[in-house]
Structure 1
Amino acid sequence: MEREMKLNGKETIEEKIMVKDKRRFNEEGELREEGRFVDDEKSENLDAGSGQVSTEKMAEVAESESAESKSELKQKSPEVIKLENELQQERARREAAEAKLLAVQARAEELIKRMEKETAEMRERIRRSLEDRAREAQFQFLKTLLPVLDNLKLAIEHAENSETLSTENFLAGVKGTARAFEQALSSLGVEPIESIGADFTPELHEAVDTVEVEPEREGKVILEYQRGYKFGDKLLRPAKVQVGRSRK
């Protein structure tokens, strides 16, 4: 604003005065009246106070709304609480099921290892048992052969020391030794195959040759060249025989 000032009553100097408080002047740049200025100042103060009050009020409302929102979040509905409980229960059941599954798997692995160990031990026991039984059978067989060997030695010694040993006596001794040997075989489950006079059976007999016979003796074993033996239901060896055939 420009204002005229007089210096020493002689001249007037126009001075630009920068007025910070524009409320003291009107729109034409004239100084307001004191009362008017005061009223305007009060009005502006009221406006400023009103703005401050409005801002504080808005802050209070916002804070209140935030508190209500938090309260609403805290105060969950029964449905939400129920769902959360069910979810927790389901999670607990799942964890329990997983733990049980792991325990079952561990138990199964332990049982498998134990069964494998027991199976290996059982196989080893069976193997040893079979070996023991085989050795026992061999032992018993050899034990039964010893008397036969003793009889043969006695027969040989008697023949060597006797000057008057007849063929008949020697034959009797050999027959006795053969009977002892057959008894030893029988004690082990070995039985001779009866062939002479029996029907020829391919499963038991091996035909070496044939001979002409009466019609009623056709297919019969006429002569035994070598005796056959069975061990239980198994054939140790077939009997070698001669089979009769009818005359043409």
Structure 2
Amino acid sequence: MAENNEKITPAEENMAAENSADQVNSVLEQGETAAGDAAAAEPVSEVDQLKAQLAEQQAKFLYLQAEYQNFRRRAARDISDARSHAIADTLTPFLSVSDFLGMAQTAAEKTDNLDAIKQGLTMIIAQFDKALEEMSVRKFTSTGEKFDPDLHDAVGREPSDTVPEDVVIREWNCGYKIGEKLLRPARVLVSSGPAAAETAENADKE
């Protein structure tokens, strides 16, 4: 079998090297061209990206705006419902009081028995007090108590030989509390002490 004794000449070797160099340069040029094209296309891509982000934010804003409007409507409805429930809870216990008043009026028109009428009024007052208790509202008595400006509204002072000074002689209107909070002060008449002592005090002032 004959061997291949052909040898590459220096000229052919140089030509092959030049061809390889040309290929490398061509690849480099193509890379630079591609890089340049990419650089030129990059600003357009950023603009598109910003537009997309802007559209996304606008969509989120519109969604939040719609949610806020829905929240306002729900809140207004909840407040209205809560007010209606509060009114209903407050007035319901007094409906029975109204019923008793109607029955008392009917009974008073049919009888001259004052005892029966008084008994009916007593029942109405008891029912009214019960309705107040259901709402944690209670009366407090002031007659015989030391005058307290936080609880009492003095409508006047009156000398008394039996009731010490600054002690409530009687109530004009009772006071009310809801829990420990004052709902209405009692309107009271307050003792100014014995009449003789008051007269002497006034004489000293003159």
For the superposition of Structure 1 and Structure 2, which TM-score range results when normalised by the shorter chain?
A: 0.5 to 0.7
Answering whether residue 118 of structure 2 is matched by residue 181 of structure 1, we say no
Q: CA deviation at 1:218?
A: 5.0
Match of 2:6 in 1: none
For residues 219-246 of structure 1, what are the alpha-carbon distances to aligned partners after superposition, in whole Å with 9 as ceiling and x for unaligned? Answer: 4544221133455687554332233445
TM-score (normalizing by structure 1): 0.51
Match of 1:119 in 2: 68
Q: CA deviation at 1:180?
A: 0.8
TM-score (normalizing by structure 2): 0.60
Given the alignment, which residue of 82, 85, 88 partners 2:35?
85
Contact kept in structure 2, 1:193 and 1:204, CA below 8 Å: no
The 1:152/1:88 distance shift into structure 2, 3 A limit, reads same
Q: CA deviation at 1:178?
A: 1.2
Q: CA deviation at 1:116?
A: 1.6
Match of 1:194 in 2: 140
Q: CA deviation at 1:191?
A: 1.1
Matches of 1:174 and 1:154 in 2, distance apart? Answer: 10
Q: CA deviation at 1:184?
A: 2.1
Gaps of 5+ in 2: 1-21, 198-206
Matches of 1:120 and 1:234 in 2, distance apart? Answer: 38
Gaps of 5+ in 1: 1-71
Q: State the superposition RMSD in angstroms.
A: 4.0
- Aligned residue for 1:104, secondary structure, equals helix
| Identity across matched positions, percent | 27
Q: CA deviation at 1:212?
A: 4.6
The 1:229/1:106 distance shift into structure 2, 3 A limit, reads farther
For residues 168-206 of structure 1, what are the alpha-carbon distances to aligned partners after superposition, in whole Å with 9 as ceiling and x for unaligned? Answer: x4333212201212222333x361342415554445432
Q: CA deviation at 1:89?
A: 5.1
1:121-136, aligned counterparts within 5 Å?
121-136=70-85
How many positions carry a matched residue from both structures? Answer: 170
- Aligned residue for 2:189, secondary structure, equals strand
The 1:115/1:233 distance shift into structure 2, 3 A limit, reads farther
Query: Highest relative contact order (Cα 8 Å, sep 6+), 1 or 2?
Result: 2
Given the alignment, which residue of 172, 178, 182 partners 2:119?
172
- Aligned residue for 2:140, secondary structure, equals coil
Contact kept in structure 2, 1:190 and 1:231, CA below 8 Å: yes
For residues 33-69 of structure 1, what are the alpha-carbon distances to aligned partners after superposition, in whole Å with 9 as ceiling and x for unaligned? Answer: xxxxxxxxxxxxxxxxxxxxxxxxxxxxxxxxxxxxx
1:228-239, aligned counterparts within 5 Å?
228-230=175-177, 236-239=183-186
One-letter amino acid of the structure 1 residue matched with residue 137 of structure 2: E
- Aligned residue for 1:243, secondary structure, equals strand
Match of 1:149 in 2: 98
Match of 2:88 in 1: 139
